[in-house]
Structure 1
Amino acid sequence: MDLMKKLRDVPSPGAEAYDQARADLLTAMTEPAAAVVRPQRWFSWPRAGAAVLAAAAVVAAVVVIGPPGGDVPAGTAPSEAAPRVVESPLVKLASDVRAAAALPGDSSLVIGTKPAPDSSPYVFYTVYTDRGQIFKGDSAQNLAASAGKNDDQAQPYDAKVMAAARQAASGDVEKARIAMITVSGNAFGVGLSPAEADRAWAAAEEKKAEVFRRLGKEVPAPRPRPTGEELENLIGNHLWSNTTYALFVGAANAEVRAGVLKLLATMPDVTIGEADLEGRPVLTLTAAAAILGGGGSQVLTIDAGNGLPIRSEVVPAAGSPDPSTPSVVQYRSSRVHLADVVAGKI
């Protein structure tokens, strides 16, 4: 947290440069690039140098280190330890999503809205094409320009989370679950023997140390490999963060959405509720504070009929010494043609 406080006055980099630096460093540090779910930042900031970009990426990773997580203890075979998909509302909904008639279009469009620092609405657009490209913008015009220039912002991380979601939709959910947890590496040794898990953790710690050395920063002392409840919470965080990231990027892709629903159905730390939102039935998926670092829970509201995301809210934990900052993001999703996006017709 001291590092976070010291860097508050550092200008934030532009979205593309920040994401690239963060993705590269987080891969090296075996932390998920989306462990803290937040929309892409499209405000106009001054360009930052490589050192600032690297520092920002390290901060993102440090934030993640407290809250990452899952449910498959190291040294246990996945088939024995991974919770099997049960007949939850999410499983039935996933089946309905896959069985529904295909909607026209070749891309998924997700429009998110959240309060900006001045309390005005900040709207961000994400297009995920059926070919795996990702285009972003803070307006229909910027999005059109990005797509028109073929400014594909998809990273290897994106391809992996989407592949894991698709695998869950049509294949082995337990294998897809392992794939989603280990998108950014298997530092926790999920599914490995105890000896293999120890070696994987040591290798990950060395990669992290190398990042600090390249930045000219003091290398922190190696941490012991987490075990027991700590390990389960860390793995749970990775599964929740990576899975919901896939949903927020590719919600209007039926295969991705169905896979996300199946994966979320395997999580014992996610409570499913039924509610009514402005006259339509919805499901609320609440991720426990334990898998999010203890500072608060996250409530994802989805349409009970089609599984599309409607709202994501972070709720600070009462009595927490370090409560999460409350936040709400509203989502709208639809199928679109990329050509229409390029033409600004969305």
Structure 2
Amino acid sequence: MDLMKKLRDVPSPGPEAYDRARAALRTAMEEPVATVVRPRRWFSWPQAGVVAAGAAAVAAAVVIGTSGGGVPAGPSDAAPSAVEAPLVKLAAAVKAAGTQPGDASLIINTKFGPDNEPDLYYTLYTDQGRQFTGDSAKTLVDAVAKGHAEPATPYDGKVMAAARLAANGDVDQARTAMITAANNALGVGLSPAEADKAWAAAQAETAEVFRKVGKPVPASRPRPTGKDLENLINNHLWSNAEHALFANAADAEVRAGVLKLYATIPDMVVGKTTVDGQPALTLTAPPAILGGGADVLTINADNGLPIREEITSAEPSKRYVVNYKAARVTLADVAAGKI
């Protein structure tokens, strides 16, 4: 948690700095090397709490054999399930409605950790892929007015492209693209030999990161198979799709694509609720996804915009909450202080 705060207070890290942070997190968490850890600027406090508790996302939607076959991303063209149907239907409505006027997506996060102290964070993701952030309306306005955009990262571009691909119909290909947006250390879609090679390369890269930061190099681990592989594959899918949603939720195409990708995780429970008198859906991951914890994402039932996320870690038990507000804006308005 302290590391995440420090990452928030410094400029967006480059690839090398990101790798160092990721290595430090792995050391603290003793997590498998392939687990996704996203840069802090999009990392919500709830997710940080879950990751620190050693959670790895898992969904039974993906069926992967333990034989010598390649590693598929999992089927997404089966008959719609009770979980899949409402998300697919909502995704179609979101896509049909289109994106509201503007040239950027503004996301305002208010996060509450175990101490219940609010942590406000502003994120502006432009249609050109530039990013502006701030911990208040004023700091965001200043950043936009001065043109202090954070450099676009290949990772951001990949998760957005994967979401758009899903929105436009090719969910199978989009699923693979979203899973592998950060890397393909798990060898998704590769032959057994290629998958082993990808895993070995990732292990070597991780070892080099540990050497650079002066930490003992962890022992190499065999490439996961069976349920462990399913867990890690779906960890990437859930985390990367969530990154796209929380960074650029006001873009209807991105939002629709994320909903369609979520629909490929049938073990997720979709329920109905109301928030401030408005209909909403709750997306609840099964406890196994969070290593025994709980993760509930609430979205608007009419437009799919994220409203709230509640996460309770398993060990130690801690509750984290983040509230979301998303809207389409123009850079000119934000620079003029109109938020």
Q: How far off its partner does 1:65 sit?
A: 7.4
Q: How far off its partner does 1:26 sit?
A: 7.0
Evaluate the alpha carbon distance shift between residue 10 and residue 140 of structure 1 in structure 2; reply closer, same or farther with a 3 A threshold: closer
Match of 2:224 in 1: 226
Structure 1 distance, partners of 2:311, 2:303, is 23
**What is the percentage of aligned positions where both structures have the same residue?**
53
Match of 1:34 in 2: 38
Query: Per the alignment, in what secondary structure is the counterpart of residue 38 of structure 2?
Result: coil
Equivalence map 1:233-244=2 (5 Å): 233-244=231-242
Query: Greater shift after overlay, 154-163 or 325-334?
Result: 154-163
Structure 1 distance, partners of 2:191, 2:53, is 25
Structure 2 distance, partners of 1:127, 1:237, is 25
Pair 1:184-2:150 in alignment: no
Gaps in structure 1 of 5+ consecutive residues: 41-58
Evaluate the alpha carbon distance shift between residue 187 and residue 275 of structure 1 in structure 2; reply closer, same or farther with a 3 A threshold: same
Contact 1:26 1:33 in 2 (8 A): no
Match of 2:101 in 1: 104
Query: Per the alignment, in what secondary structure is the counterpart of residue 263 of structure 1?
Result: helix
Q: How far off its partner does 1:13 sit?
A: 4.8
Q: How many residues align?
A: 315
Pair 1:337-2:330 in alignment: yes
Q: RMSD of the alignment, in Å?
A: 3.0
CA deviations over 1:104-143 (Å, ceiling 9, x no partner): 2111111111236764432211111111111111111100
Please report the TM-score for the alignment, with normalisation by the length of structure 2: 0.83
Partner amino acid, structure 2, of 1:73? I
Equivalence map 1:115-130=2 (5 Å): 115=112, 119-130=116-127
CA deviations over 1:249-270 (Å, ceiling 9, x no partner): 1000011101100100001232
Structure 1 distance, partners of 2:257, 2:91, is 7
Query: Per the alignment, in what secondary structure is the counterpart of residue 221 of structure 2?
Result: coil
Pair 1:310-2:307 in alignment: yes
Query: Per the alignment, in what secondary structure is the counterpart of residue 6 of structure 2?
Result: coil
Please report the TM-score for the alignment, with normalisation by the length of structure 1: 0.81
Partner amino acid, structure 2, of 1:39? S
Equivalence map 1:246-325=2 (5 Å): 246-292=244-290, 294-317=291-314, 322-325=315-318
Contact 2:249 2:305 in 1 (8 A): yes
Q: How far off its partner does 1:18 sit?
A: 6.3
Partner amino acid, structure 1, of 2:234? G
Evaluate the alpha carbon distance shift between residue 23 and residue 164 of structure 1 in structure 2; reply closer, same or farther with a 3 A threshold: farther
Q: How far off its partner does 1:22 sit?
A: 4.9
Pair 1:67-2:56 in alignment: yes
Evaluate the alpha carbon distance shift between residue 72 and residue 180 of structure 1 in structure 2; reply closer, same or farther with a 3 A threshold: farther
Match of 2:215 in 1: 217
Higher relative contact order (CA closer than 8 Å, sequence separation 6+):
2
Structure 1 distance, partners of 2:142, 2:193, is 51
Equivalence map 1:136-175=2 (5 Å): 136-153=133-150, 154-175=152-173
Partner amino acid, structure 2, of 1:264? Y
Evaluate the alpha carbon distance shift between residue 11 and residue 173 of structure 1 in structure 2; reply closer, same or farther with a 3 A threshold: closer
Structure 1 distance, partners of 2:232, 2:199, is 13
Query: Per the alignment, in what secondary structure is the counterpart of residue 12 of structure 1?
Result: helix
CA deviations over 1:184-232 (Å, ceiling 9, x no partner): 1111111112222111111111111111111222111101111111111
Query: Per the alignment, in what secondary structure is the counterpart of residue 141 of structure 1?
Result: helix
Pair 1:89-2:74 in alignment: no
Q: How far off its partner does 1:25 sit?
A: 4.3
Structure 2 distance, partners of 1:9, 1:244, is 21
Pair 1:15-2:9 in alignment: yes
Query: Per the alignment, in what secondary structure is the counterpart of residue 168 of structure 1?
Result: helix
Structure 2 distance, partners of 1:279, 1:228, is 44
Structure 2 distance, partners of 1:135, 1:264, is 27
Q: How far off its partner does 1:9 sit?
A: 9.6
